[in-house]
């Protein structure tokens, strides 16, 4: 293994792992803020119990998302220093702005939310969770702007003297056409995921035999709110995903051709592949099940639009970017991503995401009017929803990033040229093994805690102190409402 | 003023923010086995930093991100060059951050003891290694013509670097002990104050030696006054501590750390990472910088948002201004009945 390969494995593992927790954090912070706001507005204790219950699960999940996020920022410099030199001007500035605008907001107000139950007026306390949520949205906007620039570099010029991409137009990067569709797609997917998490847990607790009967209406409230969130977000994800597919067909035709297993250009009426097997060298189709003309529609918006295939695109890219080893900032390489990975991750993304939405509809129908179906599979369906949503996100990222290969910055820099020249195989391998091993252990711990706290269910209602009512003398000597 | 200079100063400010703030929560973490006599006292200590440690840690993320943006060459050389120490810091910060959140999530004694270890070593390792890293940045490291670090991890473990690590560790221990004295009440407060005096004496000796050595190898007319006032602030802080003035004592170590870091950056300027191989290969605030346009955009963002961030972080310290004592810690029975039942 060389450093490039090790660094790629590390980036893939560390990033996909981090992103298991991110969508839950983004979606769940909004749902908890909604629950808490509804408690303040209605005074219904059910909403407070849901706030606290999902708040606890949220914190278990947030903690691991937070600490694995630190590695994300550091590994650009550690493993990909030539990338960092090349893009610091553009990518680095978006990362820095993300930190300043989002990370401080999230961490400070989450601290206030966790420990502030007996110190802040109720509306301010709920406002803290809203601010945490706004922080997560800001964070996604800036990091996705940085990523969208890697997918479709705009607003910069290449300076051959310094050998780097230099920012020329900040707003062009902010409103990159890839970003404008990627952000709503990722955010709706996050709401879908947060909703699926609340739905899965609430429905499972509602269906479970051990649950106290007086608690079932509360879980049912959780089911109803979250199922609608999943359905609306699912629709939003589908619409934005379709728009994104069209933009991608335009800016990265190879990625979409690989996603479709479309080997030859179709002048009109390209078929959508439901199942395609190609030859191992990725040059020819062997067997395919297709829906006629659907791909043309998905990619271009008309049923007879032209969709380019892998083989002609390969020729075109070689002509455009060359195969000359002496060329300034690219590498002689094959311009085709790994087709099976691209093809299947695309399908798993869509299938699992839409599956989660369908599951939500089914649960909403099955549990209508407080029904409690006895068949075991309802419980399994509930529990499978969070996993379906989370893995749909993972496959989405695998598709997006793998489909761009061999580029790290599309058309500008290949992955081979991005790696740190000074890092040894030993160092890179140490890092890969240490982090992967650590993450594996943490996954077991985190999952164990989530299971423990889900099984325990929501705590009984306790009226929290309202600092705007109580005199401060009593409060001074009372035990903390929340303490580590 | 040149924008590259502005950003050099802003990066220094971010590191000052990081070391003065996370410095005390590292100190509290390292002192966990020393100051606390039982689990309730350990929880008192952890709860003094509970609401704020995460916000403190963001300073390093923003410092890293700002370096990436404003000085990409510096970020690339530093992070790929100091690879294994940074990996150790990352592992430490991961375990430490989880420990605060997960420690109380299960009642078993060995579960909690393991997370306590994560807090202790997760605080000690970065406290020491950041000192090693900064000492080496200021002293210079082998860098070749293409700005690549050509040394190994052992290159960094030189006497000057190791002394730097000892100094940050001792300063953070003192800073943390004074924070505990300031934020707790009862027995632990008195123990913390007594311990701060002893730690502070050791920190003063090590810090004076390190700052004098720094001044000798790379210092200038700007760094010298910063170092002198840093040392005086430490002495003044310890005097205040011995008289029971905990607020002033903590302010003393706060100023000490701020000025010591400021002095290191002043000694460094205009370099950001000198090369010991050949001075011509040194990374400077100019040759490591991003373009003027990027710096301009980022300057606007920083000018608007940094005061807001400092404002709400300060407010969060104000919200949690009260001292914590053992009777504020909810008992396990209470927790079992439902958090905050009273």
Per-residue pLDDT reduced to its tens digit, A341-351: 898 899 899 99
Q: Residue ranges of the alpha helices (H) in B219-288?
A: 223-242, 246-268
A279, with CB counted inside 10 A (0-12, 13-18, 19+), is: exposed
Which pLDDT score is estimated for A469?
63
Half-sphere exposure of A402 (CA within 13 A, CB side): 22
Give the pair of three-digit tokens for residue A144.
């996705």
Q: Which residues of B touch A115 (CB under 8 A)?
A: 47, 50-51, 320
Closest CB from A63, A78, A87 relative to B97: A63
Residue B196 Cα distances to A248, B121, B176, B199, B238, angstroms: 60, 20, 8, 5, 8
For chain B, what is the largest distance between any 2 Cα atoms, rounded to a whole number of angstroms?
68
Strand pairing report for A164-167 and A156-159: antiparallel
Q: By the CB < 8 Å criterion, does A119 face chain B?
A: yes
Q: pLDDT digits over A393-422, tens only?
A: 999 999 999 988 888 898 888 888 888 988
Distance between CA B214 and CA B98 in Å, rounded? 36
Which H helix or E strand runs over A17? helix A3-42
For A279-344, list the strands marked E by DSSP.
285-291
Residue B342 has pLDDT above 50, yes or no: no
Give the pair of three-digit tokens for residue B73.
């060459």
Give the pair of three-digit tokens for residue B142.
């082998």
Distance between CA A265 and CA B33 in Å, rounded? 68
- Cross-chain residue pair A73–B57, CB shorter than 8 Å: no
Give the pair of three-digit tokens for residue A53.
């219950």
- Which pTM does this prediction carry? 0.92
Sole residue written with tokens 């914590």: B324
> What mean pLDDT is reported for chain A?
89
Residue of A nearest to B87 (CA): A431
Distance between CA A194 and CA A182 in Å, rounded? 18
- A-facing residues of B in 250-309 (CB < 8 A) are 290-291, 293-294, 297-298, 301-302, 305-306, 309
Q: pLDDT digits over B173-210, tens only?
A: 999 999 999 999 989 999 999 999 999 999 999 999 99
The candidate with the shortest Cα–Cα distance to A430, out of B56, B179, B152, is B152
The candidate with the shortest Cα–Cα distance to A403, out of A467, A451, A338, is A338
Contact A56, A453 (CB under 8 A): yes
Sole residue written with tokens 């002192």: B31
Distance between CA B214 and CA A54 in Å, rounded? 52
For chain A, what is the largest distance between any 2 Cα atoms, rounded to a whole number of angstroms?
79
Quickly list DSSP for B153-187: HHHH-SHHHHHHHHHHHHHHHHHHHHHHHHHB-SH
Give the pair of three-digit tokens for residue A380.
């399994």
Give the pair of three-digit tokens for residue A328.
């300034």
Closest CB from A104, A105, A115 relative to B50: A115
Q: Which residues of A touch B341 (CB under 8 A)?
A: 462
Sole residue written with tokens 């997760």: B122
Half-sphere exposure of B224 (CA within 13 A, CB side): 5
Quickly list DSSP for A19-79: HHHHHHHHHHHHHHHHHHHHHHHH--HHHHHHHHHHHHHHHHHHHHHHHHHHHHHHHHHHH
Which pLDDT score is estimated for A281?
62
- Cross-chain residue pair A74–B76, CB shorter than 8 Å: no
Cα-atom radius of gyration of chain B, to the nearest Å?
A: 21
* pLDDT beneath 70: ranges in chain A: 279-283, 323-333, 468-476
Closest CB from A85, A119, A480 relative to B328: A480
Which pLDDT score is estimated for B119?
96
Residue of A nearest to B75 (CA): A77
pLDDT band at B302 (very low <50, low <70, confident <90, very high): very high
Q: By the CB < 8 Å criterion, does B162 face chain A?
A: no
pLDDT band at B123 (very low <50, low <70, confident <90, very high): very high
- Cross-chain residue pair B87–A434, CB shorter than 8 Å: yes
Q: Is the dihedral of CA A164, A15, A309, A334 positive or negative?
A: positive
- Cross-chain residue pair B64–A460, CB shorter than 8 Å: no
Interface test with A, best of B4, B13, B51 (most A CBs within 10 A): B51
Q: Which residues of B touch A67 (CB under 8 A)?
A: 93-94, 97-98
Q: By the CB < 8 Å criterion, does B88 face chain A?
A: no
Q: Which residues of A touch B302 (CB under 8 A)?
A: 100
Residues 6+ apart with CB under 8 A from B109: none
* β-sheet bridge partners, residue B275: B141
Half-sphere exposure of B225 (CA within 13 A, CB side): 2
Q: Residue ranges of the alpha helices (H) in B269-331?
A: 292-319
The candidate with the shortest Cα–Cα distance to A199, out of A217, A216, A220, is A220
Q: Which residues of B touch A452 (CB under 8 A)?
A: 105-106
Q: How far is A64 from chain B (nearest CA, A)?
A: 7
* β-sheet bridge partners, residue A156: A167
Distance between CA A265 and CA B87 in Å, rounded? 47
Compute the count of residue pairs across chains A and B with CB atoms less than 8 Å apart: 263
């Amino acid at each position: 293994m060389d450093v490039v390969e090790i660094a790629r494995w590390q980036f893939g593992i560390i990033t996909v792992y981090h992103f298991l927790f991110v969508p839950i954090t983004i979606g769940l912070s909004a749902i908890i803020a909604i629950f808490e706001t509804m408690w303040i507005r209605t005074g219904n204790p059910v909403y407070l119990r849901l706030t606290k219950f999902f708040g606890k699960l949220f914190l278990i999940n947030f903690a691991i998302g937070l600490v694995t996020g630190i590695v994300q920022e550091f590994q650009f410099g550690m493993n990909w220093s030539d990338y960092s030199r090349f893009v610091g001007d553009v990518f680095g500035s978006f990362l820095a702005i993300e930190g300043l605008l989002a990370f401080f907001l999230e961490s400070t107000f989450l601290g206030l939310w966790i420990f502030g139950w007996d110190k802040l007026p109720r509306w301010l306390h709920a406002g803290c969770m809203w601010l945490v949520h706004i922080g997560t949205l800001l964070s996604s906007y800036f990091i996705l702007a940085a990523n969208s620039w890697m997918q479709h570099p705009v607003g910069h010029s290449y300076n051959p003297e310094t050998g780097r991409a230099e920012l020329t137009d900040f707003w062009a990067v902010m409103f990159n056409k890839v970003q404008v569709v990627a952000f709503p797609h990722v955010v709706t997917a996050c709401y879908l995921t947060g909703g699926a998490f609340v739905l899965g847990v609430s429905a499972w607790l509602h269906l479970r035999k051990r649950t106290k009967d007086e608690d079932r209406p509360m879980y049912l409230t959780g089911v109803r709110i979250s199922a609608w969130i999943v359905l609306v977000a699912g629709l939003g994800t589908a619409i934005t995903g379709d728009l994104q597919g069209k933009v991608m067909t335009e800016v990265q035709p190879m990625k979409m051709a690989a996603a479709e297993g479309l080997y030859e250009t179709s002048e009109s009426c390209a078929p959508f592949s439901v199942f395609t097997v190609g030859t191992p060298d990725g040059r020819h189709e062997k067997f395919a099940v297709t829906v006629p003309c659907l791909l043309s529609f998905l990619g271009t918006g008309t049923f007879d639009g032209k969709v380019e295939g892998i083989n002609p695109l390969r020729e075109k890219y070689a002509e455009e970017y060359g195969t000359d080893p002496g060329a300034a900032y690219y590498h002689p390489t094959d311009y085709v991503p790994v087709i099976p990975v691209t093809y299947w991750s695309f399908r798993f993304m869509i299938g699992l995401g839409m599956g989660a939405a369908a599951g939500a509809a089914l649960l909403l129908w099955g549990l209508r009017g407080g029904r409690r179906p006895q068949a075991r599979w309802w419980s399994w369906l509930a529990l499978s929803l969070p996993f379906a949503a989370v893995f749909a996100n993972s496959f989405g990222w695998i598709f997006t990033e793998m489909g761009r290969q061999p580029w790290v910055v599309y058309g500008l820099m290949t992955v081979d040229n991005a790696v740190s020249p000074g890092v040894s195989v030993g160092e890179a391998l140490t890092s890969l093994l240490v982090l992967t091993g650590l993450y594996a252990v943490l996954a077991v711990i985190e999952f164990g805690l989530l299971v423990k706290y889900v099984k325990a269910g929501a705590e009984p209602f306790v009226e929290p102190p309202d600092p705007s009512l109580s005199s401060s003398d009593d409060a001074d000597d009372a035990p903390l409402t929340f303490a580590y | 003023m040149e924008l590259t200079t502005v950003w050099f100063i802003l990066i220094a400010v971010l590191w000052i923010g990081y070391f003065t703030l996370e410095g005390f929560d590292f100190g509290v973490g390292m002192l966990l086995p020393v100051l606390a006599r039982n689990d309730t006292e350990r929880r008192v200590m952890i709860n003094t930093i509970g609401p704020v440690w995460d916000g403190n840690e963001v300073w390093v993320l923003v410092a890293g991100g700002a370096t990436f943006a404003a000085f990409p060459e510096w970020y690339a050389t530093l992070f790929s060059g100091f690879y294994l120490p940074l990996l150790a810091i990352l592992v430490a910060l991961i375990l430490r951050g989880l420990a605060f959140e997960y420690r109380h999530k299960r009642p078993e004694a060995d579960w909690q003891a393991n997370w306590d270890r994560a807090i202790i070593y997760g605080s000690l390792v970065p406290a020491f290694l950041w000192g090693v890293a900064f000492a080496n940045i200021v002293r210079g490291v082998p860098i070749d013509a293409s700005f690549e670090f050509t040394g190994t991890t052992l290159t960094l473990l030189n006497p000057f670097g190791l002394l730097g690590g000892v100094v940050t560790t001792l300063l953070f221990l003192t800073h943390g002990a004074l924070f505990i004295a300031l934020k707790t009440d009862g027995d632990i407060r008195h123990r913390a104050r007594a311990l701060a005096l002893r730690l502070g004496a050791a920190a003063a000796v090590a810090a004076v030696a390190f700052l004098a050595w720094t001044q000798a190898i790379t210092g200038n007319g700007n760094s010298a006054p910063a170092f002198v006032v840093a040392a005086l602030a430490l002495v003044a802080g310890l005097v205040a501590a011995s008289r029971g003035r905990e607020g002033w004592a903590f302010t003393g170590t706060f100023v000490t750390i701020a000025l010591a870091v400021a002095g290191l950056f002043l000694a460094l300027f205009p370099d950001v990472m000198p090369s010991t191989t050949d001075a011509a290969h040194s990374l400077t605030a100019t040759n490591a910088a991003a373009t003027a346009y990027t710096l301009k955009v980022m300057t606007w963002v920083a000018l608007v948002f940094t005061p807001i961030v400092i404002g709400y972080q300060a407010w969060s310290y104000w919200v949690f201004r009260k001292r914590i004592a053992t009777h504020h810690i909810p008992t396990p029975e209470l927790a079992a009945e439902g958090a905050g039942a009273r």
